[in-house]
Amino acid sequence: MKVLITGGYGFIGSHVADRFHKEGHDIYIIDNLSTGKKENITFKHKGYILSVEDSKCAEIFRSNKFDIVVHLAAQVSVAHSVAQPTVDAESNVLGLVNMLNLSAEHHVKKFIYASSAAVYGLQEQLPITEDAHCSPISPYGISKLSGELYSSKWEELYGLSTLGLRFSNVYGPRQDGLGEGGVISIFMNRMIAEQPLLVYGDGEQTRDFIYVEDVAYAIYRGANSYQSGIYNLSVNQQTSVNRIISVLGEIQPLKEVVYTEKRVGDIDHSVLDNTRVMRDFDWSPLYTIEEGLKRTAHSFIQQSAEQQTAASAGAVLKSPMQIKLQEGFKRLLPSIENIVAFLLTAWLTLTYANSSYGAIDVKLFYITIIGILYGNRQAILAVVLSSGLYVYQKLLDGRDIISLTYDTDFFFQIAIYLFIGLVVGYSIERKNTIIQQQEQKVSEVNERYEFLENVYTEVREVKDELQLRILNSGDSYGKIYAATKELESLEPEQVFNAAVTVVKSIMHVPKVTIYTVNPQQSYLRLLASSGYSLDTLPKSLKVSDHHYLTMILQTGEIYINRQLEDSIPLMVAPIMHKDRIAAVIAIDGLTFESFSLYHQNLFRITVDLISSALSKAFTYIDATESQRYMEGSTLLQADIFQEILNSKIQAFDQHQVPFLLLKAELSNITLIEAAMHVSSKLRETDYVGLNKNNEMLVLLSNTSIEDSNPILQRLAHASIELRAVREE
């Protein structure tokens, strides 16, 4: 999907972008960088430095056809909203309406936006549910509530699916000191700087703090749900400021904690009810306040160390005072140059007053030159200075001030100075104004041209890339779609079986094998295969006997058999689960022309797809483990065992992978005791379970009837009789 995130370079937005990127989506960002930082995003994406209320946003929507819009760009400071409510409304209301309009116009599938607990105002009943009466006490809360009303009306009028999330106090890495959760980031910065922590009140006031990665995951879950409307997003737990200080003290010794008077308007306790979002999104917060603070502190400490390193390497920045002095000097420079020119004029006038050069009025040249260089303001100053010099000349000639007031020649000369100053200054000022207007128009046209050129270039790149993929991949889109559907199972056995089909289909290879890796990563067990005769394919591999397996398990990278060694597959890749290698998949039999970088990348993408599907299956199994087994035993429930058996039958039908099904007859032994005995002697790829008649069955992977004798001897027990009931 194409996902547009406004405010994507900011605190919450960058984490949301990380989440969608990790899930394989294309990320686009609109951010004016008022609080965001481009370095918050390190992966490949497309970013636009714009405000969300800018009309040029229409070009972005027109060019990209977004599936999801996550609107997080906002003015987040309550104090700033009180000081400048118009700026708050411009960003939080006008920007939201612009995004709503464009999303409806361009048929966006879902519009997700950030609201806030500030819409509730003061509430006595805790925890606060979504049905509570909203009565915001700040312009920030009012703008957020207005956004909810606009979004609801756009859903009603235009059918745009809108989802609003009322955040509680969000905290985590990349946060600054602004916003509703800023107390933690302020504490972090002061802790690292070894400064006292300042607490307003007794520190027993509580808030509902939620870690930013939990917020990002909830937004991702919301984007993939059919839900709309308003939801609280919180952990539904109250945490006091003193508790935060206590946890921070465990992370790093604190210099001092200073308690001062409670601020006017601060509420004592706040907590949001998250029952609805947990139920409808199938979401729950993963991070406790202790875990979240530790991760946040680690990030802040690392960032501080990097800044200190940069400073010690010679990064010199001008202080605010230096910047102000420099700007002040630039403003005074024309006046200083004017005075210097006047002093030169005065010297020439007084020095050569009685010479033949004295007939030339240097002051007229001075006024004209200053007017041409600096415009009207400095020309008027030159007129004033020249008039003063003219009066001084008359006084030196023996005239007095009173007699000058009756001298028409005197006033005529002053009028000439004023006329020249005004005409020249006004003409130059008007010319400069016209030039500035034209330059501004040219700048706007160039800016728009550059913007449209970037959009055009991006569209061309995407078009060329799609054409290249179509030429190189043939009907790969249909195959990848089919592969995605085949890998949607929540049973690992079915995922592995489907993986063989997927790899053969996408890579056009005749031979595929999948081996599982034991927990010690010392042995590999054959799980699924296609294209090999069963006699030649080893059912287990010792890692230390094969250098390429050792390399894969050590590095986690794909192995390419560039030396074309006979006993090694052409490509072997690890299948990851929770940062460990759960299995390896190998392909062989590629044609020489297909042994290329393109096919290596295609194999990598295919394996990543399989890893993702397998991780989801393992996660599901971990979550439902108590329901998969008979209570207090290692026996799989009948329905779960039947699903695994069906996948083995399917693997045999498609790839001739053998399996052996044994039925147990028990005497003087319970099911649980029998299961414990058999399970302890099985491989990782074998299963023990029940059938619908509550009889114990044993399913042996990659095992034929010829292999049964040594296995039956290994599983032998006086009270357990095992016999093959199905062998394929």
pLDDT in tens, 632-680: 787 888 888 888 888 888 777 776 778 888 888 888 888 888 888 888 8
CATH architecture observed for domain 2-170+209-234+271-285: 3-Layer(aba) Sandwich (3.40)
The single-letter code of the amino acid at 594 is S
* pLDDT tier for residue 335 given thresholds of 50, 70 and 90: confident
Q: Are residues 141 and 116 in contact, defined by beta-carbon separation less than 8 angstroms?
A: yes
The SS3 of residue 618 is helix
The structure tokens listed for 592 are: 């020489």
- Strand spans (E) along 161-269: 162-167, 169-171, 197-200, 206-207, 209-211, 229-233, 239-240, 257-260
pLDDT for 691-728, tens place per residue? 888 888 888 877 777 777 777 888 888 888 888 886 43
Query: How confident is the model at residue 566, as a pLDDT?
Result: 81
Count of CB atoms situated within 10 Å of the CB of 34: 12
* pLDDT tier for residue 12 given thresholds of 50, 70 and 90: very high
User: Any idea which of 544-548, 682-686, 695-699 has the lowest mean pLDDT?
Assistant: 682-686
* Euclidean distance between CA atoms 634 and 617, whole angstroms: 19
User: Any idea which of 195-199, 256-260, 432-436 has the lowest mean pLDDT?
Assistant: 432-436
Query: How confident is the model at residue 728, as a pLDDT?
Result: 39
Q: Measured over all CA atoms, what is the biggest interatomic distance in the chain, rounded to whole angstroms? A: 141
Strands 162-167 and 169-171: unpaired
* Euclidean distance between CA atoms 126 and 230, whole angstroms: 18
Enter the pTM of the model. 0.51
Query: How confident is the model at residue 600, as a pLDDT?
Result: 80
The SS3 of residue 360 is coil
Count of CB atoms situated within 10 Å of the CB of 393: 16
pLDDT for 273-305, tens place per residue? 999 999 998 888 989 999 999 999 998 888 888
* pLDDT tier for residue 45 given thresholds of 50, 70 and 90: very high
Strands 162-167 and 229-233: parallel
Q: Phi and psi (nearest 5°) for 611? A: -60, -40
* pLDDT tier for residue 472 given thresholds of 50, 70 and 90: very low
CATH architecture observed for domain 626-727: 2-Layer Sandwich (3.30)
* Euclidean distance between CA atoms 249 and 242, whole angstroms: 10
Query: How confident is the model at residue 507, as a pLDDT?
Result: 79
Q: How many distinct helices (H) and strands (E) make up the chain?
A: 24, 23
In the predicted structure, residue 459 carries a pLDDT above the cut 70: no
* pLDDT tier for residue 152 given thresholds of 50, 70 and 90: very high
Angle at 135 between CA 131 and CA 139, to 5 degrees: 130
Count of CB atoms situated within 10 Å of the CB of 133: 8
* Euclidean distance between CA atoms 55 and 308, whole angstroms: 40
Percent of the chain with pLDDT over 90: 27
pLDDT for 94-107, tens place per residue? 999 999 999 999 99
DSSP secondary structure letters along 265-325: T--SB--B--HHHHHHHT------HHHHHHHHHHHHHHHHHHHHHHHHTT-----HHHHHH
Domain ranges of the chain: 2-170+209-234+271-285, 320-443, 476-623, 626-727
Q: Which of 30-44, 293-307, 609-623 has the highest average model confidence (pLDDT)?
A: 30-44
In the predicted structure, residue 201 carries a pLDDT above the cut 80: yes
CATH of domain 476-623: 3.30.450.40
Query: How confident is the model at residue 160, as a pLDDT?
Result: 95
User: Any idea which of 258-272, 284-298, 344-358, 651-665 has the lowest mean pLDDT?
Assistant: 344-358
Q: To the nearest whole number, what is the mean pLDDT of the chain?
A: 84
Mean pLDDT, residues 308-336 taken together: 72
Give catalytic residue positions.
Answer: 140
* Euclidean distance between CA atoms 199 and 142, whole angstroms: 27
Q: Phi and psi (nearest 5°) for 434? A: -65, -40
pLDDT for 643-655, tens place per residue? 888 888 877 777 6
Mean pLDDT, residues 157-179 taken together: 88
In the predicted structure, residue 427 carries a pLDDT above the cut 60: yes
In the predicted structure, residue 556 carries a pLDDT above the cut 60: yes
Query: How confident is the model at residue 318, as a pLDDT?
Result: 59
The structure tokens listed for 174 are: 């990349």
